[in-house]
Structure 1
């Protein structure tokens, strides 16, 4: 048995590849030309060149594969050209689904995002059944992933055996880029967190996310969504855990979102028109801080036996990995 993993050089994709190999399935990883391969160090897999915008490369990559883990996505809080989110996340997903259908794979697991899951109007954690619409999506990343998820659901309705997983905020080893959540850890370790805007998040060990993918392939119900999450925390609680792990003092100054929002608008304008570099205060990140991103992953725990490694352990693994690799 062989599985194609897209996005294999990324944080979640490389973790998925490790978990698939550990489960006894061969992995073929789709790698964009010029991609940073550091996350693949020590991982015994086959890699093939390809791009989600190149249908021929997708069909070639799928040759001989019975399973597909579509993890690849353009993930950022800012981009100089927002169209990249839709080309990679929506058009690329449609192209891969078409290639999977044409080659007759046994099953596809699609990696969506927790951001495509709704939050109840009255507060409380969101579930797979919480109503949500495109107008509730903050930023191009979330909008593009929501639209991509709709394409996946259409494909499932049309007979493609596909399961959707919605990871929350993963942390752990091999966060090479690092991701926005990983960057919070690095900035904290460097003592850069002097103040913060309070928000809520759901943290999960990236290795648990990977196991969730494998179990969705094995036992997930076709056309269903599964939240891959663990514990709901406030940002303050995350900092308190990091303080205990690193010895760095947690920030005490909590800033009102209304104070930071105008600065984020200015920072975005500078990024768009002057520096052409990611803003230090991402506007979409400040906008998202308005929402307490708490979710209920009991469906995945119940149906997929999703592991629930404590966030303290996941954060300790991240801190140790960042230290060992010179990030902080």
Structure 2
């Protein structure tokens, strides 16, 4: 790998992938949406290319003279006023990128999917890359688009494109400027907006480990394979208390909310967002339904095949909280 194009380069994970590549002395082209803030790339020695993945000619031109593609550009949202955009970007945008990669004879493609595109094992069992997707009726546009676009990407891998899929879990760390829904969880817990927990669990991971996993996948990943980039499986209750403890707020009183009651409450918040505020709610019934499962995943494959090492999660959360404080999110 000598020169790489990173789509979504100014985003949370994308900007960390750019830094990981530069640390390995790999030349980087960063694809930037027109008008997109590029603060996460300030001071980095990258070639910025303005283009939209919905513009096939723009992406095809951006891929010229590179040998490796990291496709991270996607919409990650729990609520949108118009959901059509998530299908355009996450599906048609990905098609454009992959067809252009074929046309430009790109040597290696790392396709960023999500653990959302992998099935959920029953109870507290741990899912692997082989756990069949089983969330067709969930009603989450994000989850569905990530799964469908992943399947299309795997189709390209079966037809001679050297493509590897990575499936990040819930990443935390610095430079989460939007912030992502994942980062917003920390903000809501520490600020006191979120004072409850409920049944279920998640897999959390340092964003720098996710970025390193991307580069390792380009170097060592097998064509057509999935690699879960995760770390610690933790219940919602334990995660909430861990965040509060790191933020020195361990004495805060929390309420154990039944999932049905929480879904009713978030239905009201969603209606308010849909018709009055036009801003994302704290959560939605679909999000509660999804996360009330134990979203536990096994990253052994990435560790053994790619050589991925993992950062202690307490360190990751502490850095994320401090960064949110320093940048006036808290």
TM-score, normalised relative to structure 2: 0.96
Matched residue SS, 2:29? strand
Note if contact 1:138-1:287 (Cα within 8 Å) is conserved in structure 2. Answer: no
Question: Which of 298, 301, 304 is the matching residue for 1:302?
Answer: 304
Cα distance, 1:270 vs. partner? 2.5
1:225 Cα deviation after fit? 0.1
- The 3-state SS of whatever aligns with 1:226 is strand
CA-to-aligned-CA distance 1:130-164 (integer Å, 9 cap, x gap): 12246155500010010100110100011101000
1:197 and 1:241 mapped to 2: Cα distance?
15
Q: CA deviation at 1:315?
A: 0.3
| Alpha carbons 1:188, 1:248 under 8 Å: kept | no
Distance 1:326 1:274, change over 3 A: closer
Partner of 1:40: 41
1:260-287 Cα distance to aligned partner (Å, 9 max, x none): 1122222222322333221233232212
Aligned equivalents of 1:29, 1:74: Cα separation in 2: 17
* Cα contact 1:116–1:145 (8 A) shared by 2: yes
Q: Which residue of 1 aligns with 2:107?
A: 106
Displacement, 1:180? 1.3
Alignment of 1:179-328 (within 5 A): 179-249=180-250, 250-328=252-330
Query: How far did 1:242 drift?
Result: 1.8
Q: Say whether the 8 Å CA contact 1:168–1:204 is kept in structure 2.
A: yes
For residue 62 of structure 1, what is the aligned residue in structure 2? 63
Gaps of 5+ in 1: none
Q: What are the ranges of 5 or more consecutive residues in structure 2 without an aligned counterpart?
A: none
Mean CA deviation greater in 260-269 or 148-157: 260-269
Aligned length in residues: 328
**Judging changes above 3 Å, is the alpha-carbon distance between structure 1 residues 131 and 304 closer, same or farther for their aligned structure 2 residues?**
same
Whether the 8 Å CA contact 1:116–1:137 is kept in 2: the answer is no
Cα RMSD of the aligned pairs, angstroms, is: 1.4
What TM-score, normalized by structure 1, do the two folds share? 0.96
Alignment of 1:61-210 (within 5 A): 61-121=62-122, 123-133=124-134, 135=136, 138-210=139-211
**1:179: how far off?**
1.1
In structure 2, C-alpha distance between the alignment counterparts of 1:42 and 1:125, rounded to whole Å: 41
Contact 2:123–2:294 (Cα < 8 Å) also in 1: no
Residue 311 and residue 102 in structure 1: after superposition, are their counterparts in 2 closer, same or farther (change >3 A)? same
Q: Distance in 2 between matches of 1:323 and 1:203?
A: 20
CA distance in structure 2 between the partners assigned to 1:171 and 1:80 by the alignment: 26
Q: 1:251 to 1:289 in 2, by over 3 A?
A: farther
SS of 2:90 mapped into structure 1: helix
CA contact (8 A) 1:67 1:105 kept: yes
Retained in 2: the 8 A contact 1:90–1:148? yes
Q: Deviations over 1:214-262 (max 9, x none)?
A: 0000000000000000010112222222222211234421100110112
In structure 1, C-alpha distance between the alignment counterparts of 2:188 and 2:200, rounded to whole Å: 17
